[in-house]
Amino acid sequence: MFIQNEEISVDSLICYYNVSNDTELGRRIDVSKSTISVWRAKGIPVGRQAVFQLISANDLKANLSSYQAATYAGCKDDKDQISSDKGDDNEF
């Protein structure tokens, strides 16, 4: 089964887990019904989407593009800082 979406939605989880409603989904994935309601309103957080992608062996596809860009930008800034610090031989 392969479910292709721009991001993982509550409805795609309901389909993947073969349950009929939000309450059953919550029980199946061990989250509260209120959490499911928040996911319906605001979307599933990217980190959680990544977990669902791993659990589903890539049948569900997380939208990681914005997450990767933000993470890379953060790493780049840290890398630049580390490179500029290498010139000081007197510091440990």
Q: How far is CA 58 from CA 4, 17, 74, in A?
A: 10, 14, 26
- Given a contact cutoff of 8 angstroms between Cβ atoms, the answer to whether 10 and 22 are in contact is yes
H helices of 1-92, in order, are 10-17, 22-29, 33-42, 46-55, 65-85
Q: Where are the domains of the chain?
A: 10-85
For the domain made up of 10-85, the CATH class stated in words is: mainly alpha
Contact 29, 13 (CB under 8 A): yes
Distance CA 63, CA 48 (A): 11
Quick: pLDDT tens for 58-88.
999 988 776 655 455 555 544 444 444 445 5
Q: Are 62 and 52 in contact (CB under 8 A)?
A: yes
Q: State pTM to two decimals.
A: 0.66
* pLDDT tens-digit readout, 21-36: 999 999 999 999 999 9
